[in-house]
Structure 1
Amino acid sequence: MSPVSRRTFLASTATGAATILAGVGFTATPAAAAPAGSKPYRLTVMGTSDLHGNVFNWDYFKGAEFDDAAHNDVGLAKVSSLVTALRKERGDRNTLLIDAGDTIQGTPLAYYYAKIQPISKKVVHPMAAAMNKMGFDAAALGNHEFNYGIPLLRTYASQLKFPLLAANAVDARTKLPAFLPFTVKIVQPQGFSRPIVVAILGLTNPGIAIWDKANVEGKMKFPGLVEQAKLYVPRIRPYVDVLLVAAHSGADTSSSYGDSLPYPENASTLVAEQVPGIDAILVGHAHQDVPQRIVTNKKTGRPVVLSEPKMWGQRLSVFDIDLSFAKGKWTVNQVASQVLNSNTVPEDPAITKLLQANHQTVLDYVNSVIGTSTAPMSAATARYEDTAAIDFINFVQADAVKTVLAGGEYADLPVLSIAAPFNRDAAIPQGDVSVRDVAGLYIFDNTLQAVLMSGADVKEYLEYSARYFKAVTSAGPFTPDQVTNAVTDTAPSGTPDYNYDIMGGLDAPLTYTIDLGKPVGSRITDLAYGGTPVAADQQFVIAINNYRASGGGNFPHTAGNTAIYNAQVEIRQLIIDWVTANEVIDPAQFAAEDWALTYNGTPLTIG
């Protein structure tokens, strides 16, 4: 990484914030005309979301600066440069900065300060340090804030100089708010006799009850966004001039958990439509790039402006809120929004200087060598063909479960394991293997559980997983994108890779084919364990992650299935520990071609 020098950055800002903003695609929105006899004023609200532990423009899994096909950049250090330029152009007193959740999970930097050197009174979370330095005014809670448990979340909250908001996170016993539902900011424009009172209402995701069940069950409940907004907005609106919502919930109504909960996962548009009195919504959770979406409130007919900045600090949402002041009263006349791209500004040297030592500490950790591999393993093709990389994950998970259950009630049952192709860039090299290499195989902070399934359950589970594939009319050849990431009722934008599960056996192979010439629900053929067809009443122990076991992805036979093992051990750490203890990864020990894609029995050609 090569952060820009402080002198260079300050010199660039000195040339004029307008020049910098023009370079990132900023367009000055024409101000709304103020009514006769009133005086106009523009309030600028900047927003981030789904930062996921990204401070620097760095990919810890690749060991290089972040880059993608669109050459996006990531990290708060980049975003801070955009914020600085906007404040310089608009004036500090005329701006606010808010976030829509998912800040403390997602990178080895975030993981290190949650699990390796947990934050405390003496150890400040890098995201807290960066966001405090940038002067955030408020942030909504995201679902991933709960991944490390409520105690760590409370510690993180105590380190912030701004409030964490969640109107729909309530104490399970008292039903009272578990966090501040909203906060109020007073903006005093120069030359006006009365300040502007701005309320920021925070809404988080009901799916927390499923995805982090082990951390929140019996402690907190998560009502719907619309329901809680209807409770709070009417109480707040009469006392404020501007009402903003920071919602960790996507704009396009859908739920990855189907009907497992009575509240939709992505409900920001519903909030705008059904709850009168909201001026703008900063959207999060969906990882989409939404510069501006205008939704009409069904009761008032007034427009509500939604914007979502692309995840990891790739974008910054900017809301221009035009008000007028007359007879001692503020009126919102117009709201417009856009997103700014962080890839054409340098990293803010104030942020890089503040957290460079933390960054180096994590680099030293992830680059430490813990073993060797006799052959390379790549996950690049794992979503459409059997690979040793996914077999390795399934082997470690199943081996851990079998070891724990040895000598007990379920010791004689065959163990199967489930894993998804989380990271297309994951690769284990031949030769030395580092923590970074292994961590790249499993980029989520999931923990390992074990549940029981029948043979019929296994087939139904695999049939549901096979919805990931698009229907085809021949055996190919096809490009990967022509076959994978199918649109479904629970994935209107296409099924993500992490919701495609691959199942494997430990002591004997679980083999099957996925026939894309057959209709969804009837694609799994030749399902066998150890060469014998799987019987409907056959019993299996399934090694599975906590996200899936709690109903994440709405897979069958997971939510409500009692875990026979749940020690809250992280799968990524299990893999790291396995490599450390065994020293050598030999794919011959676990890799085999156990599943394949076909069309009416003919192997599919993909390349």
Structure 2
Amino acid sequence: MNVFKKASVVSTALALTIGGFSASTGVLAAPGNGAKGNTDQVKIEKPVTGKEVSLRILGTSDLHTNFVNYNYYQDKIDNSLGLAKTGVLIEQARAESANSLLFDNGDLIQGTPFGSYKVTEDPIEENELHPAFAALESLDFDATTLGNHEFNFGLDYLENALEEAPFPVLNANVYDAETKENKFTPYVVEDRVVKDAKGREHTIQVGVIGVVAPQIMKWDKINLEGKVIAEDAVQTVEKFLPEVKAAGADVVVVLSHSGMGDEEHVVGEENITYQLTELEGVDAVITGHNHVTFPGSYGDLEGVNMEEGTINGTPVVMPGKFGSHLGVIDLHLKQLGGKWQVIDGDAELRSIKDLPADVVDQGVIDSVQETHQATINYVNTPIGETTAPITSYFSQVQDDPSIQLVNTAQKWYVEKNYQGEFTDLPVLSAAAPFKAGGRYGAEYYTNIPAGTIAIKNVADLYVFDNTIFGLVLTGEGVKEWLEMSAGQFNQVNASAATEQDIINPDFRSYNFDVIDGVEYDIDITEPAKYDGDGKLINADANRIVNLTYNGEPIDPNQQFFVVTNNYRASGNFPGVRDAIAQVDFAYENRLAIMDYLVENPVIDPSADGNWELASTVADAELTFLSSPSAQPFALEDDNISFIELATDGLAKYGIDIK
């Protein structure tokens, strides 16, 4: 059973057995939505001076509805992911420690066709436990926090999902736009009976605070604007720390759905976990969001002790993605002056790769079996046929079928369905390679074989639950949008005699928009005009050259209707942020692609070649990384050649520019 009970009942004293030890608990939940009852603490015993205990904190993050070790896109078992695998590590780690707590760090209800199915095909009903929470409940999770993707389906859906959550779902930095009160429960403080090495029982109080990147207001502007506001995560934790301490917390754990960040704090920034480790009173941090690992990454930051798993002396875990790792933090407490204090701690990650292939936690699978099987049945529904493979292996370096299909379908949908003020404007379409390796790994690419196209293939092509938006832009706005997208390329020395990697790994592939309906070249001998956040860094740079519409140089004042998605429309991209008007179609991009395939049951996905790298780099030796699985496709491509296998399971390829 779970100690951190749902906020409406958390003030009840309970006698429970958790993680292998008996615990009598009293819990204080901070006021917030769903935490309005009695919040008296239950004191179980007076502390005894001079005693020492250990407390193990276990954590997962960014599960993204990967509960079963199953790849819905490829329709097969996948032992590189799944809470059913992580659950085995959880039980092993619990068995090693008399005293443990288990937390999830958010991005739980969205991410695979499993999550989408529960929104579009089988929405949760009143009094229904969302299968994501059922999966966590099967492993006795003690609490979770909200990730940014929890907001993708809107506040109504989220609140319905939270209604039956069997443990606290925390967030401290999202506030009701009208009342300015916390929208969700910001923290909990729990009395926990623990055992020392001699088996003697003591009581400690554990406080847990949750925060999310405030950029949710940009990413899900359509769902959130006017309803909630999001404050700086570091300042929020600073605000609540005294309150949590005053409530009696001996240990404070922060669930930070934010990336690592760096030594400098800018108010309102996305990635702030590093700053949390500098706050007096924070004893441990579970972080995520960036889908990488710590300990492991970020060894170049000041104050990092990779061996101990600490940053500025604070234990931190960032447990990868999709259940790939379990974070394990061990804290050591001692009574000093009549109060329990954390005297030291360390952290490590455990990987599911170390488990035998056939070992799973069957309880997790059983808890979601109905939705899991229904999702499999749903995604195998055939909807069309392709005459050639559709892959994204080379989507970052040349026009390719995966982006072409999305753009063609989006443009088709708007031209067929839009009747409004801007009907007479030329329609363009923007799409980016969502699956292009990077932080997700060497096999994270779209690969749809020639033949039947099923719903699972469309989900593999378009992985996000975005909705269609139309933006009215000038020709100048279109160019600036493309200048921003061209920031994914490293600047190249055209006369250099050595290999040059052309892709900037820090630039997210989903920000590399290809705009169809115009033609252009990208001159990567020029510096990038904008950085990854859309900030102007080289005002005189012009990577976008030979930009034409209908064979003529584009008129900077001509207006266009550009089809995109809600994520891009609500963002801060150059060009996009200067849009003259927006049109919300309130229809999923993925569904538009499906509609297009149904109406055009046999498609030729060939790219139209509307963009390419400029010939200024024709004499340079240009390379990029992609999947080793792309080698057969390189053999059939006149521009691409396989060079060698590279690190991290990737492969190096060359591209020949004519």
Identify the TM-score tier after normalising by the shorter chain: 0.7 to 0.9
Correspondence for 2:507 among 495, 503, 511:
495
What residue in structure 1 maps to residue 477 of structure 2? 457
Measured against aligned partners, the alpha-carbon deviations of 1:401-441 in whole angstroms (never above 9, x if no partner) come to 223334x3211111111100111421333221111112111
2:612 paired with 1:596: yes
CA distance, structure 2, for counterparts of residue 193 and residue 354 of structure 1 = 33
CA distance in 1, matches of 2:352, 2:575: 43
Q: Which residue of 2 aligns with 1:247?
A: 256
Q: Which residue of 2 aligns with 1:437?
A: 457
- Displacement of 1:296 in angstroms is 6.7
Counterpart of 1:48 in structure 2 is 60
Percent of counterpart pairs with the same letter?
36
- Post-superposition Cα deviations, 1:560-600, rounded to whole Å, max 9, x if no partner, equal 74653203211111111221233222336xx4111111351
Alignment of 1:128-207 (within 5 A): 128-190=133-195, 191-192=199-200, 194-207=202-215
SS at match of 1:417: strand
| Aligned counterparts of 2:263 and 2:474: Cα–Cα separation in 1 | 30
Q: Does 1:584 find its partner at 2:602?
A: yes
Q: State the AA in 2 paired with 1:482.
A: D
* Alignment match, 1:12: none
Task: Specify the alignment match of 1:265 in structure 2.
Answer: 270
Instruction: Tell me the secondary structure at the aligned position of residue 609 of structure 2.
Output: coil
Task: Return the offset for 1:165.
Answer: 0.7
Q: Which residue of 2 aligns with 1:403?
A: 416
Cα deviation for residue 384 of structure 1 reads 0.7
Residue pairs, 1:20-99, within 5 angstroms: 38-66=50-78, 73-91=80-98, 94-99=99-104
Shift of 1:157: 1.1
Deviation at 1:235, TM superposition (A): 1.7
Task: Give the Cα separation in 2 of the matches to 1:330 and 1:122.
Answer: 40
Structure 2, unmatched stretches of 5+, are 1-19, 21-47, 305-310, 437-444, 530-541, 623-638, 640-653
C-alpha distance after superposition, 1:43-94 (max 9, x if no partner): 0000111111101222211222337xxxxx2111111111111112213xx1
Task: Determine the structure 1 residue equivalent to 2:41.
Answer: none
RMSD of equivalent CA atoms: 2.6
Q: In the aligned structure 1, how far is the partner of 2:447 from the partner of 2:581?
A: 31
Is the contact between residue 382 and residue 452 of structure 2 (CA under 8 Å) also seen in structure 1?
A: yes
Deviates more, 1:597-606 or 1:94-103: 597-606
1:592 maps to a residue whose letter is D
Describe the SS at the equivalent of 1:527: strand
Corresponding residue for residue 236 of structure 2: 228
Superposition pairs for residues 203-222 of structure 1, below 5 Å?
203-222=211-230
- 3-state SS of the aligned residue for 2:194? coil
Equivalences for residues 207-606 of structure 1 within 5 A: 207-238=215-246, 239-253=248-262, 263-273=268-278, 275-291=279-295, 303-325=313-335, 328-345=338-355, 346-406=359-419, 408-424=420-436, 425-474=445-494, 482-486=501-505, 494-505=506-517, 510-521=518-529, 522-551=542-571, 554-559=572-577, 561=579, 563-587=581-605, 591-600=607-616, 602=618, 606=654
| Contact 1:516/1:597, CA 8 A, preserved across alignment | yes
**Partner Cα distance (2:226, 2:315) in 1:** 36
SS in 2 for 1:503: strand
Q: Offset of 1:253 from its aligned partner?
A: 3.9
Code of the aligned partner of 2:173: N
Higher relative contact order (CA 8 A, sep 6+): 1
Between the aligned partners of 2:381 and 2:262, the Cα distance in structure 1 is 43
Whole-Å separation in 1 of the counterparts to 2:106 and 2:579: 30
Contact 2:481 2:576 survives alignment (8 Å)? no
Deviation at 1:254, TM superposition (A): 10
Once residues 145 and 130 of structure 1 are traced to their aligned partners in structure 2, the CA distance between those partners, rounded to angstroms, is 16
Question: For residues 115-143 of structure 1, what are the alpha-carbon distances to aligned partners after superposition, in whole Å with 9 as ceiling and x for unaligned?
Answer: 21111236532211110111111111111
Change (3 A) 1:189 1:104: same
Moved more, 53-62 or 596-605: 596-605
- Give the partner amino acid of 2:409: V
With over 3 angstroms needed to count, the CA separation of the structure-2 counterparts of 1:563 and 1:143, relative to structure 1, is farther
How many residues align? The count is: 541
Alignment of 1:108-147 (within 5 A): 108-121=113-126, 123-147=128-152
Q: Tell me: CA distance 1:428–1:189, structure 2 relative to 1, closer, same or farther (3 Å).
A: closer
Give, as a single letter, the amino acid of the residue that structure 2 aligns with 1:422: F
Q: Structure 1 327/533 Cα, relative in aligned 2: closer, same or farther at 3 Å? A: closer
* Cα distance in 2 between the residues matched to 1:193 and 1:362: 46
Asked if structure 2 preserves the Cα contact closer than 8 Å seen for 1:141 and 1:203, the reply is yes
Q: Report the CA distance shift for 1:295/1:133 in structure 2 as closer, same or farther (over 3 A).
A: farther
Structure 2 distance, partners of 1:400, 1:186, is 56
Structure 1 position 548, deviation (Å):
1.0
- Supply the AA of the counterpart residue of 1:78: K
CA distance, structure 1, for counterparts of residue 413 and residue 511 of structure 2: 23
Aligned letter for 1:503?
I
The 1:249/1:546 distance shift into structure 2, 3 A limit, reads same
Q: Normalising by structure 2, report the TM-score.
A: 0.78
Deviates more, 1:115-124 or 1:510-519: 115-124
Shift of residue 336 of structure 1? 0.7
Structure 1 residue ranges without an equivalent (≥5): 1-16, 18-35, 68-72, 487-493
- Separation in 2 of the partners of 1:302 and 1:339? 18
Aligned-partner residue type, residue 157 of structure 2? L
Query: By how many angstroms is 1:223 displaced?
Result: 0.4
- Partner Cα separation in structure 1 for residue 497 and residue 289 of structure 2: 35
| Cα pair 1:138 1:183 within 8 Å, conserved | no
- The answer to whether the 8 Å contact 2:263/2:274 transfers is no
Task: Using the TM superposition, name which of 592-601 and 212-221 deviates more.
Answer: 592-601
- Where 2:521 maps in the other structure, the secondary structure is strand
* Contact 1:449–1:563 (Cα < 8 Å) also in 2: no
The answer to whether the 8 A contact 2:260-2:272 is kept is yes
Shift in CA distance, 592/478, structure 1 to aligned 2, threshold 3 Å: farther
Asked if the contact 1:170/1:222 (under 8 Å) is kept, the reply is: yes
1:601 CA displacement: 6.0
Q: Tell me, in whole angstroms, the C-alpha distance in 1 between the residues paired with 2:617 and 2:605.
A: 28
CA contact (8 A) 1:78 1:343 kept: no
- TM-score for the superposition, normalised by structure 1: 0.84
Post-superposition offset of 1:328: 4.0
Contact 1:485 1:497 in 2 (8 A): no
The secondary structure found in structure 2 opposite 1:86 is helix
Distance across 1 between alignment mates of 2:497 and 2:82: 39
Q: Secondary structure at the match of 2:317?
A: strand
Residue 401 of structure 1 contacts residue 565 of structure 1 at CA under 8 Å; is this kept in 2? no
User: Offset at 1:476?
Assistant: 9.2
Aligned to 1:188, the other structure's residue is in SS state strand
The residue matched to 2:328 in structure 1 has which SS?
strand
Query: Does the 8 Å CA contact 1:272/1:295 hold for their aligned counterparts?
Result: no
Give the letter for the 1:440 counterpart: D
The residue type paired with residue 154 of structure 2 is G
| Partner-residue secondary structure (3-state), 1:385 | coil
AA aligned to 1:311 is K
